[in-house]
Structure 1
Amino acid sequence: MKYAIFALSFLLLFACTSDETPITDYSAENDQQIIEYIAKHNLNASKSSSGLYYVIDEVGTGDKITATSDISVKFKGSLIDGTVFENTEGEIVSFNLQGLIQGWVEGLQLFNHGGKGTLLIPAHLGFGNSTKENIPAGSVLIFEIEIIDYKVLNDEQIEAYINEHEITNVLRSESGLYYQIEELGTGEYPSGTADVTVVYKGYFMDGEVFDESSPNGVFFNLSQVIPGWTEGIQYFKQGGKGKLFVPSHLGYGIYDYNGIPGGSVLIFEVELVDFID
C-alpha cells in the first residue's frame, strides 16, 4: 500500500503554489503542444469539450467507471518532452477517483474496467499554475494507463490454478465464485442468515496460509462475513466439506486488508460442522 500512496500523490488535486503566483492561461499553448505531440507520435486522439485529449486503445469489457469509482491501474506519467515523472513499473495501484486532478476524473470515465489508453491533459485539467514536485507550472501531462478489471484477472487466475493443480469437479456460480464440493453433507442447506460453525483454512494462491480456525471451528452468522463465504457455505449441508475459490470482488476488494493484498484470490478449505437457521 506504501507504493499506492506514493503514486497517488502525483494525481491529487493539491499542489504547491504561492498566493503571489500570477494566474496564466496556458490553454492555447497547451493545445498547440498536444496537437504537435499527437502528430509527432501518430496518435489517433480525440478531444473533449473540456480540452482533454485521449486515445482509447481498448475501452474495456468490465463495469463502467464513474466519478466516484474505485479503480486499479498501471500507469506511466510523462511531460510533453518525454521526461517521466512517475511510473508504476507494472505494479497495480488502487484508489478512488474523487479528489484527483480533473483530467483523470474525466478521462477515466471514458473507459470501462479493463480499458487501456492514453490521456493528454492540459494544465487547466491538471495542476494549472501550480508546481507539483518535479512538474513545472503549466505542464501538459501525458498518462499511459491500463485499468485492471480484477473480475477478469481473478477469473483467469482461478482457472489457471485449478488446471495447474488438477482440481476436478469445480463449479462456478453466476457471481464468479468457484467452489468444489468434496462431501455434500446431510440434511438441509443453511440460509444466508444462518448461525454456522465452520472449520476452515484460508490461503493465497502461492500456498501461504493467512488464517486458520481451531479443530473445533468458528461460530458466526453468515450475513456478517465476506460475500464469498455467505454464498459459498450455502452450497454445503451439515458435515459438508470442500473448497471455496473467492475472487477479490467477493472477498476484500481492491485494497489491502489486514495483511491481505488488494485484489487477492482467497482459497478456503471448509467444513460446515453445524448450523442453526
Structure 2
Amino acid sequence: MKSVCMALFIVLFVSCSSDDENSNKDYTLENQEEILSYIATNGIDAIGTDSGLYYVIDKMGEGNAITADSDVSVKYKGYFTDGSVFDENTESGVTFNLQGVIEGWQEGIPLFNEGGSGLLIIPAHLAYGSNSFNGIPGGSVLIFEIEILDYNALNKQEIEDYIAENELNAMSTASGLYYVIEEQGEGEKPTSTSSVTVNYEGYFTDGEIFAERSSNLNLEIEDILEGWQEGLQLLNEGGTMKLLIPSELGYGLYDYSVIPGGSVTIFDIELVDVN
C-alpha cells in the first residue's frame, strides 16, 4: 500500500491556473445536465445529494464507519463521462486523510463503510472547479469507481491463513492480536509501565525479514507498538512468544520505513528481563 502523493487528491484550488478563459464560469447547470444524461444513457441507479454529488453503493461494506476526518485506503479508477480515464490505482490503492481530498470525496466516501464499493459522480464545483488542473479540463464532471479497503478484515484473514498454513497453536485477543506462547517463562510479568529487555526478529507473512534479530534491546512498554504492549504483558521474564500483529495494532495504514501501509507484522520475541 502506498500513501497518496499525487496531486489529484490534494485540495489545491488556489494553485490552479487563473489564466484559464473559463476560470470564473459557473458549470453547475451544465454539469447537472451532463450527469443526468450520463446516468440515463448508462442506466445507472444513482442517488443525488443536495450538493450535486451523485453516488451508487454497490456494496455498503461491513467494516468501520467512515467519518469526515478518517484515514482511508481506496482503490479507484477515475474517468470522464466520455469514458476516458485520467487516473487510476486499482492494484494497491492509496491511503489519505479525508480532510485532504476534493469535496466530492469528502462527502461521498463517508456514505460507505470500510469494505464498501461503488461509484461517485462529481460535478466540477465539488472537484477542481472551473480551472484546468493536472490535465483535467476546467468544469469537468469526474466519475470514480471506488473500493474502500477494510484492513481489519484483510489482516484478520491473512493472519488466520498464516496460522493454518504453519499449523500454529495461536490464541487471539479482543483487539485482534494473535499470539503463540512458546515458553511462558518463570520470572516477573511486565506491566504497562515496565521497562523490558528483549531479543526479537520481525518479518512479514511471506517470510521476508524486515528487522534482523536484535539482541538485548531495552524498551519502555508504553513507547512501543500497541501489539507489543499488549503481547508482552502476557509473558513472564525468560519466556518466548510469537506475535502476529494486524496493522491497526502495528504500523497503521501509511508506509513506515520498509513496512508498507496496512501490513501484518510478525515478531519472534524473547523477554530477557523486566526492569
Considering the TM-score relative to the shorter chain, is it more than 0.5? Answer: yes
> Of the candidates 10, 13, 25, which is equivalent to residue 12 of structure 1?
10
Query: Which residue pairs with 2:203 in the alignment?
Result: 203
Whole-angstrom CA distance in 2 between matches of 1:181 and 1:174: 17
Aligned residue runs from structure 1 range 46-65, under 5 A = 46-65=47-66
Q: How many residues align?
A: 272
Query: Runs of 4+ in structure 1 displaced over 2 angstroms?
Result: 1-4, 19-22, 212-215
- Inter-CA distance 142–107: structure 2 relative to 1 (3 Å threshold): same
**Secondary structure at the counterpart of residue 100 of structure 2:** coil
Query: Which residue pairs with 1:266 in the alignment?
Result: 265
Is the CA contact 2:187–2:238 (under 8 Å) kept in the aligned structure 1? Answer: no
Query: Which residue pairs with 1:152 in the alignment?
Result: 153
Is the CA contact 2:162–2:205 (under 8 Å) kept in the aligned structure 1? Answer: yes
CA apart distance, 1:212: 3.1
Is the CA contact 2:3–2:255 (under 8 Å) kept in the aligned structure 1? Answer: no
CA apart distance, 1:218: 0.9
CA apart distance, 1:13: 2.1
Residue type of the partner of 1:178? Y
Query: Which residue pairs with 1:83 in the alignment?
Result: 84
Residue type of the partner of 2:265? L
Whole-angstrom CA distance in 2 between matches of 1:122 and 1:133: 17
Query: Which residue pairs with 1:242 in the alignment?
Result: 241
Whole-angstrom CA distance in 1 between matches of 2:100 and 2:206: 35
Unaligned runs of 5+ in 2: none
Whole-angstrom CA distance in 2 between matches of 1:130 and 1:95: 24
**Secondary structure at the counterpart of residue 267 of structure 1:** strand
Q: RMSD over aligned Cα, in angstroms?
A: 1.6
**Secondary structure at the counterpart of residue 75 of structure 2:** strand
Query: Which residue pairs with 1:256 in the alignment?
Result: 255
Whole-angstrom CA distance in 2 between matches of 1:3 and 1:108: 17
Whole-angstrom CA distance in 2 between matches of 1:91 and 1:260: 14
Whole-angstrom CA distance in 1 between matches of 2:20 and 2:130: 11
Is the CA contact 2:2–2:255 (under 8 Å) kept in the aligned structure 1? Answer: no
- Inter-CA distance 72–240: structure 2 relative to 1 (3 Å threshold): same
**Secondary structure at the counterpart of residue 89 of structure 1:** strand
**Secondary structure at the counterpart of residue 25 of structure 1:** coil
**Secondary structure at the counterpart of residue 227 of structure 2:** helix
Query: Which residue pairs with 1:114 in the alignment?
Result: 115
Query: Which residue pairs with 1:170 in the alignment?
Result: 170
TM-score (norm 1): 0.93
Whole-angstrom CA distance in 1 between matches of 2:69 and 2:2: 22
Aligned residue runs from structure 1 range 33-72, under 5 A = 33-72=34-73
CA apart distance, 1:2: 6.9
Worse-superposed segment, 252-261 or 204-213: 204-213
Whole-angstrom CA distance in 2 between matches of 1:214 and 1:58: 44
Whole-angstrom CA distance in 2 between matches of 1:178 and 1:62: 19
CA apart distance, 1:4: 3.0
Query: Which residue pairs with 1:232 in the alignment?
Result: 231
Is the CA contact 2:3–2:96 (under 8 Å) kept in the aligned structure 1? Answer: no
**Secondary structure at the counterpart of residue 180 of structure 1:** strand
Whole-angstrom CA distance in 2 between matches of 1:3 and 1:86: 16
Query: Which residue pairs with 2:29 in the alignment?
Result: 28
CA apart distance, 1:152: 0.8
1:225-268 Cα deviation digits (max 9, x unpaired): 01000001111111111200011010110111111111111000
CA apart distance, 1:12: 2.0
Unaligned runs of 5+ in 1: none
